[in-house]
Structure formats: C-alpha cells, structure tokens
Amino acid sequence: MARIMDRQVGRGLWRTLILAALAGMLSAPVTAERIKDLASVQGVRNNQLIGYGLVVGLDGSGDQTTQTPFTTQSIINMLAQLGTTLPTTQSLQLKNVAAVMVTANLPPFARVGQQIDITVSSMGNAKSLRGGTLLMTPLKGADGQIYAQAQGNLLVAGAGAAAAGSKVVVNHLLAGRVVGGATVEREVPTALGQGPFVHYEMATTDFGTTQRVVEVINREIGPGTAQAVDGRLIRVLAPEEANSRVAFLGRVEALEVRPTQTVAKVIINPRTGSVVMNQKVTIDSCAVAHGNLSVVVNSEQKVSQPNALAGGQTVTTTQSEIEIKQGGGSLIQLKAGVSLAEVVKAINALGAGPQDLLSILQSMKAAGALRADLEII
C-alpha cells in the first residue's frame, strides 16, 4: 500500500514538474517578428514634396527685408497676383513676414482631397515662426508637377524672449508643423506588383533571414509561393485580382519570422561622443594604456604706460601662458569578453570618457582585438 502511494506521489511530482516546464516554455518571450517589420512591398513608398512660401502674422520676428531681398520680391509678386501692383524698386520695411521652405511626404495610394502633414522651416533671418500663418503654397514633386497645396497655422514647439541684451530660447523656433496642412491635388500611380508576382524588399541584406521568410511563406501559404531572388529581394506569387491581392498581402505581412542574429557592430558618432554596440560584440584579450592629454591656454591683458614726462604712448599687450598636462596612463589588461555585459564591464575598467572611448575602440579594431564592424556616422 505504501509503495502504491509512493508511486502516485512520484507520478504527481513528475506531472507538476512537466507542467511547470511547459508553462515556462509558453511564457518565454517570443523574439519572432512580423514580415511587415522586416520587409516592404517593392514600389510602395513615400514621395517627397517641396515648396516655397511665405509666413505672415509674426509678432515682429520675421525677416529683415533689407537683408533678404527674396522675401521682398516674393511679397511683391504675391500682391501682384492678388491685384495690387507695387514698383519693383519699392523698399518694404516689414517685420511680420518670413520666407520659408515647406516639405511633406506624399504617402502611397494617397487620393485627391486627402490631407497630409507638412513641415515649415525658415530660410531667411527670421527670429521666430511662432504664431505665424502659412499662405497658400504649391508643393511640387521631383518631376516639377504640383501634387498638393499647403496652407494653415503653424505649431511651433518652443518659446523665446529677449530684453535689454538678454535672450532666452526654449527649443527651436525656426521650424514648425501644420497637421493636415496640405491637401492632395494629384495622385501618384502605384503599381502593386508586376503581373502575377509581388516583390518584397528586405530592410537589410541578410541571406539567412531572407531564406527564413521564404520558408515561412511557403509553409503557411503553399509550396512554391515565394522564391528568393538574392539576399534582399523575394518574389511572391500573388492573385491578380485587386481585392484578392490586398487580402493575400495582408495575410503574408502578418506571418511571423524569427530573424537570424545580426552582424556584430559598433556605431560611433564623434560629433556627440555616443557609442552604441549590439549584443554580438566581443573582444579578445588585449592590453590598453590611455593617458589624457590636455592643453591649457591662459591669456592676460596688460597695459604698458610710460612716465608722465617720457612722451610715449600707452600700449595694451597680451601675455599668454601655455601649459600641457598629460595624465598618467597605466597599462590595463582587458580580458576576453563573450557577452555584451562583459564587454561593457571591461571597457568601463579603463575609466575613459566618451571621447576617449572613440579612439580606444578604433585602436582595438586596428589591433584585431575588437570582434565587430566599426561604423562611424
């Protein structure tokens, strides 16, 4: 009887362990991504629009028309179109008008009458566009055709004030947005595939991820549906009827794919001193010696004044002192790291700042100790 109870307890314990293991597997985070996050349909893209216009209604913060002749010329031309003629030699002293460039992105399949957002940026010497109104501005594409008309009140996310030689500015005042400020006037024909095929373009060239996308499409949709053309392009057999093709592409984009591991890469921005590395970066054992080098220049103004009866002149001279300081750079051995946390820990042991870290990583890459691609942006 006791043996039977022991067996039942053992079976119950094993069931509990198996259920716990299954629960842990089911609750593990899924790293798969949708195909729409990894690739896009070829030919379905935005089109850039640009235009030149005027912003009026500024509170004395517009262009200085004496220094920006194009602003004055634009105002004269605009008034002429509205029936008011001014002599071209007229000198206008305006402070509430600014010349601007207007940019926008025309989304794919945009129809006539659809509204899109625009960005308005000053191109003169205006101090602020806050509170201004953009006058009707045609937006043209790369072919010179007008695709949208823009007009509206600007939204500038900033503020500024100046008085008695002091000035305070919060955020940027020379660029603003107009939500729904442009109306589409011309459509751009977009071909959704060529014949029976639709081509998907991967966001990055990766043969492994491309092959996995092909395998998932063929497994979920049907064998022979997708074929890889190269490491970035996938040809997919789709229905030719428009409604069926849209439904088919929606089903394909929702499929999940587990991408392959990316290439080890370190991104360096020397302008801001930022360094970003992905989780595949590793280092080999190496020794690094780094010493800070600083140059200090002190300038002092001195006045040389002659005696009262000498008949000379008072002269102001500048005396400069230059001092070079070099910090002690001890030799530190970095152990080989196999994970991102260990790499960061090894680099932090140097105690170097962001700017010093840039030169250290470049030297480690040249010595073959940094196992990653180094990209400077």
Please report which helix (H) or strand (E) contains residue 187, including its range: none
Q: What is the pLDDT of residue 296?
A: 56
Res 309: pLDDT? 66
C-beta atoms surrounding 94 within 10 Å:
16
pLDDT at 319 over 50: yes
pLDDT of res. 361: 79
pLDDT of 146 strictly over 50: yes
Residue linked to tokens 């509430």? 96
Average pLDDT, the chain: 79
Average pLDDT over residues 237-245: 90
Average pLDDT over residues 92-118: 92
Burial bucket for residue 87 (CB in 10 Å: 0-12, 13-18, 19+): exposed
What percentage of the chain carries pLDDT values higher than 90?
Answer: 37
With 80 as the cut, is the pLDDT of residue 279 above it? Answer: no
pLDDT value at 370 more than 60: yes
**Per-residue pLDDT for 85 more than 80?**
yes
pLDDT of amino acid 7: 44
Question: Which residues have a Cβ under 8 Å from the Cβ of 164 and sit 6 or more positions away?
Answer: none
φ, ψ of residue 373 to 5 degrees: the values are -80, 130
Average pLDDT over residues 14-27: 38
Res 304: pLDDT: 73
State the average pLDDT over residues 354-363: 76
Instruction: Assess whether pLDDT exceeds 60 at residue 292.
Output: no
Average pLDDT (107-129) is 93
Task: Give pLDDT, residue 340.
Answer: 60
Region 101-122: mean pLDDT is 95
pLDDT of residue 28: 37
Of residues 370 and 179, which shows the higher confidence score?
179
22 pLDDT tier (thresholds 50, 70, 90): very low
Tokens, residue 295 = 């140059």
The tens digit of pLDDT for each residue in 256-274 reads: 999 888 888 888 887 777 7
CB atoms inside a 10 Å sphere around CB 142: 9
What is the pLDDT, as a whole number, of residue 189?
86
Residue ranges per structural domain of the chain: 47-160+168-184, 197-257, 265-300+318-376
55, 60, 103, 102: which is closest to 75 by C-alpha? Answer: 55
Asked whether residue 255 carries a pLDDT value surpassing 80, the answer given is yes
Q: From start to end of 205-271, where are the E strands?
A: 226-228, 233-237, 256-257, 265-269
Largest CA distance in the chain: 128
Identify the pLDDT of residue 326.
56
How many Å apart are CA 68 and CA 344, to the nearest integer? 52
Report the length, in residues, of the chain.
377
Q: How far apart are CA 278 and CA 74, in angstroms?
A: 51
Q: Residue 253's pLDDT band (boundaries 50, 70, 90)?
A: very high
Count other C-beta atoms under 10 Å from residue 75's C-beta.
20
CB-CB contact of 78 with 55 (8 Å): no
Question: Does the pTM of the predicted model rise above 0.75?
Answer: no
Q: In the prediction, which pLDDT does 21 show? A: 38
SS3 state at 310: coil
Encode pLDDT of 47-82 as tens digits. Answer: 999 999 999 999 888 888 778 888 888 888 888 888
Residue 284, classified by CB atoms within 10 Å of its CB into exposed (0-12), middle (13-18) or buried (19+), is middle
What is the pLDDT confidence band of residue 350, given thresholds at 50, 70 and 90?
A: low
Whether residue 302 has pLDDT greater than 80: no
Span 199-234, pLDDT tens digits: 999 998 889 999 999 999 999 999 999 999 998 999
**113's tokens:** 């009458």
